[in-house]
Chains A and B, each alone.
Chain A
Amino acid sequence: MNETRRTVLKRTGATGALVAAFAAGLLRWQDLLAAGWNKDAFGSKTLADALKGIGAGSAADSTDIVIEAPQIAENGGVVPIEVTSKLPGTRSIAVLIEKNPFPLVAKFDFLEGAMPFVKLNVKMGESSNVRVVAEAGGKFFTTVKEVKVTIGGCGG
């Protein structure tokens, strides 16, 4: 798998300062990859902006992305989400909680040797759609699953 450095930089959303530092020879390639964090996308307050921030503004619905999550979460602070992408050539998986104050929660890039699969625990402020976006073959695909959040009875 061969990618130009520029496209990988674009994909990981490295900030301008880091790119400049890298270009000036002050950072190693490895440092750049490790330090990239898509501030714009993670700071987006609407779903539309977050999707745009990861380049997925016009993602197509797909049944080849499987979200495994409980319909009811006893505690919104810890909601288990498991994602498997069956799309051939899946390069990344992003997890968004539509009704969270900042919808984008995580984005994983899969290089050679990794399967397009991830399980993580997320915080949900309220019942919401969990939206997953997968990038495969240069295109974006998406699917949703609703998770209801409720509090338990013992108040603790």
Chain B
Amino acid sequence: MADPMKMRATLKGDTAEVRVLMSHPMETGQRKGPDGKVVPVHFIQNVEVKLNGKTVIEGQTSQAVSRNPVFSFRLKGAKAGDKIEVSWLDNKGDKNRTEIAIA
């Protein structure tokens, strides 16, 4: 997906506080579009967080998560240079990911 995703990770001791911003309409399927027809459900179902390539958090989400979702996580045993990757998968099979190295 071309839509931007942004992540920030700050280290406090050996805990990394991860904040991630996602672009996604998170449509509930209860809204009518400009053509008068119901806009179908379209939302992120899975969120995965990896630390240095290893999955540490698996999230399942519904259409009741806000549009343009934002999430905060905390990882332990982290240090500068560690790679954090966050990816998502939606109900249509679209996906996106972003990765940063802890500063």
A and B touch in the complex (CB under 8 A): yes
A contact residues vs B (CB 8 Å cutoff): 12-13, 33-38, 42, 77-79, 82, 97, 100, 102, 104-115, 117-123
Given A120-B69, A120-B70, CB of A114 within 8 Å of CB of B61? no
- Check A107 against B59 for contact (C-beta < 8 Å): yes
Query: Residue of B at shortest CB range from A43?
Result: B62
Q: Quick one: which of A12, A79, A117 contacts B73, CB cutoff 8 A?
A: A117
Given A35-B46, A118-B73, A120-B71, CB of A78 within 8 Å of CB of B55? no
How many Å lie between the Cα of A121 and that of B64 in the bound state?
Answer: 9
Contacts of A115 in B (CB 8 A): 15, 73-76
- Check B65 against A82 for contact (C-beta < 8 Å): no
B contact residues vs A (CB 8 Å cutoff): 15, 28, 45-46, 48-49, 51, 54-67, 69-77, 89
Say how far A33's CB is from chain B's closest CB, in angstroms.
6
Say how far B24's CB is from chain A's closest CB, in angstroms.
12
Q: Quick one: which of B54, B58, B62, B66 contacts A121, CB cutoff 8 A?
A: B66
How many Å lie between the Cα of A13 and that of B74 in the bound state?
Answer: 24
How many Å lie between the Cα of A37 and that of B77 in the bound state?
Answer: 29
What 6 new A-B contacts, CB under 8 Å, besides A82-B72, A108-B59?
A34-B46, A37-B45, A107-B59, A109-B59, A112-B56, A114-B75
How many Å lie between the Cα of A117 and that of B75 in the bound state?
Answer: 9
Query: Residue of B at shortest CB range from A76?
Result: B66
